[in-house]
Structure 1
């Protein structure tokens, strides 16, 4: 069954937020050309004011009753009065079990509907304080790209919405399909939800980019890497390497390394029949126990469950 994604357009919708979600999900096809997602844009009224232009929306809110995932894009002024018709439609969809996700200031809409109460959530850093003050029952985290709280997923602004959508693809169809979606969008696949919204970057220098060093690390994931080893390869002191890494990547070197190893493990679980302990060793884990614990913490399920879900070649 094709996964149905409905994107809700409201007056003052941020067009980029709407279109990035549409492009990520709508362009995905399997090897036979069959779409992974059935993507539809809906609204309370047929015409939506998008600021510099208007949208003619083909579907009404009634299609939310059949949606598996509902995307709420940002709106220019999150403090404007939200339509009670839209809020009730979102509430009904949530009670039915649909997954709801917001981009940027779309989190204000979910909060107004009461769907973020008691949950951890995020939004664009410019609106985080206002979201927290207006909805004190929401646990606002302004320092992340997106928050996956199960049935509700929220993201920060612009490119963070892309990261969230790729994350949802990974949840639905696995790492290989998410990587393909990232290639179609010419977007990175390795930005984690916990990464900081602001990533300070040093001015470009001939020896200042970490990109070649990250490629080296990715090619040596099975080796016993340490910060000292990575710093030596980059010809930096450990302290300088750790500082530059945090500035450019938003996470520590070891956090990045762990995530890279789990991503590689996901690829192997999807594409090979190797035993779990062999995959753990190939990805640089010192023990299968440590691998299983780390995999479950990051991927949300066990390696065995992940393989059963995403490996078509499994026996």
Structure 2
């Protein structure tokens, strides 16, 4: 039976909560105005969400739709976010949830919260990359999204990726980001941290889940991406500016990280910046 929305559109569902089906991703949309009354009138939906979460299905909610996840208990003791207008009410109604007011995206295992539709778009690109691979995700982003997307892992608060407590490594990370264009050796970094090279590599990997060299290369490519977007420097100049003397090596590293060449990346982001 079709469901008529407040805007007059009709939606015909092709399944029901009672159907035993596998889902790759479940999206929970935002509700108009105060969500409290609607959320608490849906016990069957709340139970179904808990069941799907237990199966490992990715569940993503946006804005006030995150209240369904909180009401079901799936966010107890876990990070979450919601629309900024409902921060105070959300904290009052769900005190056991770790509300992250400075993040547009949160992740706790297979449960995701997005504060806005734009953030949900970024999350969708992440899902596509996870399920279908980076090449398909990149093509989807370039084809269907008219504004520049933010990387999921840059803006998402995740239990798995929350800031680590190793202050010595944090200082090195900060220095690398500020000096990534310099000629940096791993031994120099170990000396700065006052550690042996072996111990430094071990502690850095434990803290960041990547080697110091991987972190340095990532910082250089991210700086190059910003420069391709915001400056008129040629690609050779940008390669030199982020620490690469060999432009061919820079091109390979950039494409390995982003799946597109520096030139194609610049065309894409410039077109999105200035398109109507």
Where on the TM-score scale, by shorter chain, does this alignment land: which range?
0.5 to 0.7
1:1-315 mapped onto 2 (5 Å cutoff):
46-58=1-13, 59-63=15-19, 65-76=21-32, 77-82=34-39, 83-187=42-146, 188-192=148-152, 194-195=154-155, 212-213=229-230, 216=233, 222-223=239-240, 225=242, 264-267=255-258
Partners of 1:149 and 1:109 in 2: how far apart? 15
1:88 is displaced (CA, Å) by: 0.9
1:96 is displaced (CA, Å) by: 1.5
Partners of 2:64 and 2:22 in 1: how far apart? 24
1:147 is displaced (CA, Å) by: 1.6
1:90 is displaced (CA, Å) by: 0.7
1:160 is displaced (CA, Å) by: 1.6
Q: SS in structure 1 opposite 2:66?
A: helix
Decide whether aligned partners of structure 1 residues 191 and 184 sit closer, same or farther in structure 2, where only a CA change above 3 A counts: same
Decide whether aligned partners of structure 1 residues 49 and 119 sit closer, same or farther in structure 2, where only a CA change above 3 A counts: farther
1:85 is displaced (CA, Å) by: 0.8
Report the more deviating stretch, 90-99 or 62-71: 62-71
1:179 is displaced (CA, Å) by: 1.6
Greater radius of gyration (CA) = 2
Unaligned runs of 5+ residues in structure 1 are: 1-45, 197-209, 227-260, 272-315
Q: SS in structure 1 opposite 2:18?
A: helix
Partners of 1:266 and 1:150 in 2: how far apart? 25
Partners of 1:217 and 1:150 in 2: how far apart? 42
1:177 is displaced (CA, Å) by: 1.4
For residues 120-141 of structure 1, give each alpha carbon's deviation from its aligned partner in whole angstroms, at most 9, with x where no partner exists: 1111111222212211111111
For residues 241-297 of structure 1, give each alpha carbon's deviation from its aligned partner in whole angstroms, at most 9, with x where no partner exists: xxxxxxxxxxxxxxxxxxxx99854345xx9xxxxxxxxxxxxxxxxxxxxxxxxxx
Q: Give TM-score scaled by structure 1 length.
A: 0.49
1:48 is displaced (CA, Å) by: 3.5
Q: Is the 8 A contact 2:47 2:72 kept in 1?
A: yes
Q: Give TM-score scaled by structure 2 length.
A: 0.55
Partners of 1:88 and 1:179 in 2: how far apart? 36
Q: Is the 8 A contact 1:72 1:103 kept in 2?
A: yes
Length, aligned pairs only: 178
Partners of 2:68 and 2:236 in 1: how far apart? 43
Partners of 1:73 and 1:54 in 2: how far apart? 16
Unaligned runs of 5+ residues in structure 2 are: 157-226, 244-251, 261-276
